[in-house]
């Protein structure tokens, strides 16, 4: 595949529907990094290494030296929002980053102004921004978004664009007939069918132009047959959904460990408080349901109660998110895990994670954008399930069950990179080392 990976020549545009806390934190971080003011901690593409060869550990390049990723200096940001705030104002409002850091890059941030959003308040009841397109139908909105992307590309002299949804969580919907085929979806756009969520209109605009689209919210968005078919037809990389940060990150680290030791789990109670705009949106039951569904599947997929009924057959899993403004973006999560061991003796694990939501999400947005661009240049299109490492509820190809174990996900991601560059995939490096130490008989 190596010869087929086109080089990252020219500039890459990263377009973000939703220039809120996560997007502004990511953009400010990249600008600060480029100016030598900060380091891109938490970003695998910028700081991670990859082991190559037979597992002896002597070839360990940086990922960004191994695969041809876009350089951070060659990235240009843009996006849409229902509020007119530029990125300096959005970042100031989000109160994630230190004001002195924001002021030191203020001119660069102020230059990034949102384009008018396509919005339907029925999907996000707790927000009422007015900076929205007055499109007669969803079809018209899609055409306007396509023009926005095109103008942005020309104005910034870009060679490539990727679109990453960093917009709000929409209300819970399930796929229906209008989402079934490209033809039914396009008819639905023209009829302004209310079952087509705004995020799907953005996805359609990007994918219809062969532009990669990744969904960072738990919305249905790209997880419908029509967008999957369109992605295959137009050779666009797609993926989703919901950035894997905070509590779910911890869950997918701890659960594989418990499963590895065959320890039973009878209950897992997870609760959160957060006070940012995302928390406000999730305070609405219909929007919370979208998030809840995305978070709930993780344990079942990792623990496999179908295979281990004695260990996980009666697991009670409960998730709550509570809007609590005083904490702002500094989400606090508690997990109470009831486990049991030898002869069913019960034990408990308590996790209290005082995290920062957007600080955890920002590097994921950057990595997803750079990897989606890489996939596109490598001729990989359709659902990119190798990027599930970054996602809470990974979309998979052809209905294959999702992998949620973070360690397996990382292994898969790295093996895709190795294969892309014609290196041997590594499955269990330690095993290779052990075999070498076994004396010849």
Ligand X SMILES: NC(=O)c1ccc[n+]([C@@H]2O[C@H](COP(=O)([O-])OP(=O)(O)OC[C@H]3O[C@@H](n4cnc5c(N)ncnc54)[C@H](O)[C@@H]3O)[C@@H](O)[C@H]2O)c1
Residues that bind ligand X (CB under 6 A): 17-18, 20-23, 80-83, 94, 117-119, 124, 127, 129, 166-169, 198, 216-217, 242-243, 245-246, 276-278, 357-358, 360-361
- What is the token pair recorded at 96? 């994630």
Name which of 212 and 363 has its Cβ closer to ligand X.
363
Q: Which of 243, 18, 247 is nearest to 124 (CA)?
A: 18
**Shortest Å, Cβ 343 to ligand X:** 39
Q: Residue 213: how many CA atoms within 13 Å on its side-chain side?
A: 30
Residue 317 DSSP symbol: E
**Shortest Å, Cβ 336 to ligand X:** 21
**Shortest Å, Cβ 391 to ligand X:** 9
* DSSP for 341-364, written as a single string: -GGG-EEEEEEEEE--HHHHHHHH
**Shortest Å, Cβ 359 to ligand X:** 8
**Shortest Å, Cβ 219 to ligand X:** 7
Name which of 333 and 381 has its Cβ closer to ligand X.
333
C-beta separation of 291 from 282 below 8 A: yes
Name which of 105 and 359 has its Cβ closer to ligand X.
359
Name which of 195 and 263 has its Cβ closer to ligand X.
195
Q: Residue 138: how many CA atoms within 13 Å on its side-chain side?
A: 23
Coil, strand or helix at 264: strand
**Shortest Å, Cβ 139 to ligand X:** 16
**How far apart (Å, rounded) are the C-alpha atoms in residues 44 and 369?**
12
- What is the token pair recorded at 332? 């606090």
Q: Which of 75, 325, 388 is nearest to 396 (CA)?
A: 388
**How far apart (Å, rounded) are the C-alpha atoms in residues 369 and 11?**
13
**Shortest Å, Cβ 106 to ligand X:** 19
Other residues' Cβ atoms within 10 Å of the Cβ of residue 252: 23
**Shortest Å, Cβ 292 to ligand X:** 12
- What is the token pair recorded at 47? 């700081």
Q: Which of 91, 51, 125, 70 is nearest to 413 (CA)?
A: 51
**How far apart (Å, rounded) are the C-alpha atoms in residues 34 and 89?**
20
Name which of 52 and 201 has its Cβ closer to ligand X.
201
- What is the token pair recorded at 86? 């530029």
Name which of 115 and 231 has its Cβ closer to ligand X.
115
Q: Where do we find the tokens 């990723």? A: 69
* DSSP for 52-99, written as a single string: BSSSSS-B--BHHHHS-PPPGGGEEEEEEESS---HHHHHHHHT-S-H
**Shortest Å, Cβ 245 to ligand X:** 3
Residue 195 DSSP symbol: T
Q: Which of left, alpha, beta for 101 (phi over 0: left; psi -120 to 50: alpha)?
A: alpha
**Shortest Å, Cβ 199 to ligand X:** 7
Strands 75-81 and 11-17: parallel
**Shortest Å, Cβ 325 to ligand X:** 13
Name which of 117 and 224 has its Cβ closer to ligand X.
117
């Amino acid at each position: 595949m190596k010869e087929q990976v086109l080089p990252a020549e020219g500039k890459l545009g990263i377009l973000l529907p939703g220039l809120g806390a996560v997007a502004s934190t990511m953009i400010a971080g990249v600008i600060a990094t480029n100016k030598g003011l900060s380091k891109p901690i938490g970003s695998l593409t910028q700081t991670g290494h990859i082991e190559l060869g037979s597992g002896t550990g002597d070839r360990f390049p940086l990922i960004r030296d191994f695969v041809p990723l876009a350089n951070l200096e060659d990235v240009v940001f843009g996006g849409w929002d229902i509020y007119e705030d530029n990125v300096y104002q959005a970042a100031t409002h989000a109160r994630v980053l230190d004001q002195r850091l924001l002021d030191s890059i203020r001119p660069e941030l102020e230059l990034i102004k949102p384009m008018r959003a396509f919005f339907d308040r029925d999907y996000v009841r707790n927000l009422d921004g007015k900076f929205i397109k007055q499109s007669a139908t969803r079809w018209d909105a899609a055409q306007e978004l396509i023009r926005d992307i095109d103008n942005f590309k020309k104005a910034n002299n870009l060679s490539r664009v990727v679109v990453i949804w960093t917009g709000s969580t929409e209300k819970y919907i399930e796929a229906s007939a209008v989402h079934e085929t490209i033809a039914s979806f396009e008819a639905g756009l023209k009829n302004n069918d209310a079952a087509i969520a705004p995020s799907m209109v953005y996805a359609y605009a990007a994918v219809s132009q062969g532009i990669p689209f990744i969904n960072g919210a738990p919305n249905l968005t790209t997880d419908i047959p029509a967008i999957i078919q369109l992605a295959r037809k137009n050779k666009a990389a797609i993926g989703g959904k919901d950035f894997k940060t905070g509590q779910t990150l911890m869950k997918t680290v701890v659960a594989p460990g418990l499963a590895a030791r065959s320890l039973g789990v009878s209950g897992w109670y997870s609760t959160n408080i957060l006070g940012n705009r995302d928390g406000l949106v999730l305070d609405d039951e219909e929007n919370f349901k979208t998030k809840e569904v995305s978070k709930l599947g993780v344990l079942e997929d990792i623990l496999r109660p179908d295979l281990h009924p004695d260990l996980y057959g009666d697991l009670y899993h409960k998730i709550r998110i509570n809007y609590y403004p005083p904490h702002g973006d500094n989400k606090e999560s508690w997990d109470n895990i009831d486990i049991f061991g030898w002869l069913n003796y019960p034990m408990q694990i308590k996790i209290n994670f005082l995290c920062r939501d957007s600080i955890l999400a920002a590097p994921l947005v950057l990595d997803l954008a750079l990897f989606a661009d890489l996939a596109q240049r490598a001729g990989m299109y359709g659902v990119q399930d190798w990027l599930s490492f970054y996602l809470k509820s990974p979309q998979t190809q052809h209905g294959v069950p999702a992998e949620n174990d973070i360690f397996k996900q990382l292994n898969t991601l790295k093996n895709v990179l190795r294969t892309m560059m014609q290196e041997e995939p590594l499955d269990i490096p330690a095993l290779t080392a052990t075999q070498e130490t076994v004396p010849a008989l």
